[in-house]
Structure 1
């Protein structure tokens, strides 16, 4: 009952502060690239150049064969774009409270929305690259289908997972400054444990079950199911869906609980 009440309070807080959240999200997005000649264009240039380089190395250099009956670049795009979003959000949200420590003594300001602002800021870029996925599939002769709308379900899954993890990491960062480095290290490990550039087709059932413990597997495969495999999430992976949501809700409420318990001490250690 207390957990449900906590969730309702969080939703109420979002609605109450929706105008502040929108303003701070836009301000955060602009601040990242303030002073550079290209400005906010760098937000799109960096990942676009990385994708182009990866495509050239694997498609041209290694002459990679089609995966799941689609060109390798499409197979790779549907995985690396959600990974970029998750990685960028978690790293920036982890330091969100530390970067805005001057707000800690302003009791009228809800500190809990700071990680969410980082997520929404990255979401602007992510929507652009979701559009890129649609365009690339049409360029290669794959028209949009009803299955594509499922990508927004997986995007919601990603945001829920990020929110819980970022509440946890952002609050711990104030007490343990090495948290950011630990998060970076875990992300590097998770990158290679997620089937972004490699396929799970030849893995043994035991190894595949281990890989599925990584929640990013569910999200990455979900994006591919939305664009490539044309499968609804409830058709094949109901047990994996159940596992993902148990994992996500556990960290959502644990992150909220840790944040709530440590919040009174933030100003003392910032």
Structure 2
């Protein structure tokens, strides 16, 4: 716990610099393009549109999905899931390699090494909010009316943010120590969409019960399903699912403790490994 508190203090102190670096990263991404920030809108829109054409239109009448009614409901359901997963996937990949690629530069700024993964997560927020805005438009267009349940969107957003940082502490440190780890990690993330309930509802009646229960332990499923239960049909309050909450936050706490411990233990040797 001592390591966790030390890292939290470093993050609070480094937050202004983290925001500036994230803004700089976003500005540099499309700086050489004539249309500039337009691609922050066009690229996510293209990804979402293609996925909807591939899966939602084809499977819109699939009665095995208990969460979506008809094509309109399926489009909103799948769009929200894809937006959430695309953000988490990109943030997890970039933050895992952040220390390995940036430690040489940021160490000269007397910048907290524990804040390096956070810069990548914050950098991805601009794209996420653009994509989320598109998903909200789809949801409202599908005649889903806002409700008081929408307030708990902030709970799931905070839960997602904390989870991503806790995981990044572990993966960014291991990537420095064992470079081959990143390749295996990236491979797992490429198939993550299929085991996180983004495309296929893992609680469908046609899904094997044992496999369904195993996949529900996935923290990504907890977050994706939480957003869907908040914004779409049959909303429920997050505290009503006690078991899922305990499992998710238990995983987050374990990741924080493990990540803080190995990060603090090896941070003085990062330059040697890199």
TM-score for both structures, normalised by structure 1: 0.91
CA distance in 2, matches of 1:38, 1:107: 32
Alignment partner, residue 252 of structure 1: 256
Corresponding residue to 1:151 among 150, 153, 159: 153
The Cα of 1:68 is off from its aligned counterpart by: 2.7
Alignment partner, residue 54 of structure 1: 51
Q: Does 1:21 align with 2:18?
A: yes
The Cα of 1:63 is off from its aligned counterpart by: 5.3
Asked if structure 1 preserves the Cα contact closer than 8 Å seen for 2:52 and 2:79, the reply is no
The Cα of 1:113 is off from its aligned counterpart by: 0.6
Asked if structure 2 preserves the Cα contact closer than 8 Å seen for 1:103 and 1:109, the reply is no
Deviations 1:142-174 (A, max 9, x none): 222111121221111111111121111112222
Deviations 1:178-201 (A, max 9, x none): 222111111123221111111222
Alignment partner, residue 103 of structure 2: 101
Alignment partner, residue 227 of structure 2: 223
After TM superposition, the structure 1 stretch with the greater mean CA deviation from structure 2, 100-109 or 205-214, is 100-109
After TM superposition, the structure 1 stretch with the greater mean CA deviation from structure 2, 133-142 or 222-231, is 133-142
Asked if structure 1 preserves the Cα contact closer than 8 Å seen for 2:11 and 2:114, the reply is no
The Cα of 1:108 is off from its aligned counterpart by: 2.3
Cα RMSD between the aligned structures? Answer: 1.9
Asked if structure 1 preserves the Cα contact closer than 8 Å seen for 2:56 and 2:75, the reply is yes
Corresponding residue to 1:115 among 114, 117, 133: 117
CA distance in 2, matches of 1:181, 1:40: 30
Deviations 1:21-42 (A, max 9, x none): 1111101222222322332332
Q: Could you say what secondary structure the match of 1:106 adopts? A: helix
Asked if structure 1 preserves the Cα contact closer than 8 Å seen for 2:44 and 2:127, the reply is no
Alignment partner, residue 31 of structure 2: 34
Deviations 1:206-254 (A, max 9, x none): 222111121111111101101113111112x111110000011101121
Q: Could you say what secondary structure the match of 1:131 adopts? A: helix
Q: Could you say what secondary structure the match of 2:124 adopts? A: helix
The Cα of 1:72 is off from its aligned counterpart by: 1.1
Q: Does 1:201 align with 2:204?
A: yes
TM-score for both structures, normalised by structure 2: 0.89
| Counterparts in 2 of 1:107 and 1:261: CA distance versus 1, 3 Å | farther
CA distance in 2, matches of 1:117, 1:221: 26
Aligned residue pair count: 265
| Counterparts in 2 of 1:105 and 1:19: CA distance versus 1, 3 Å | closer
CA distance in 2, matches of 1:105, 1:131: 36
| Counterparts in 2 of 1:18 and 1:63: CA distance versus 1, 3 Å | closer
CA distance in 1, matches of 2:61, 2:154: 29
Unmatched 5+ stretches in structure 1: none
CA distance in 1, matches of 2:119, 2:146: 31
Alignment partner, residue 72 of structure 1: 74
The Cα of 1:104 is off from its aligned counterpart by: 5.9
Deviations 1:105-142 (A, max 9, x none): 53722111110011111112212222222222221212
Unmatched 5+ stretches in structure 2: none
CA distance in 1, matches of 2:114, 2:150: 32
Alignment partner, residue 9 of structure 1: 6
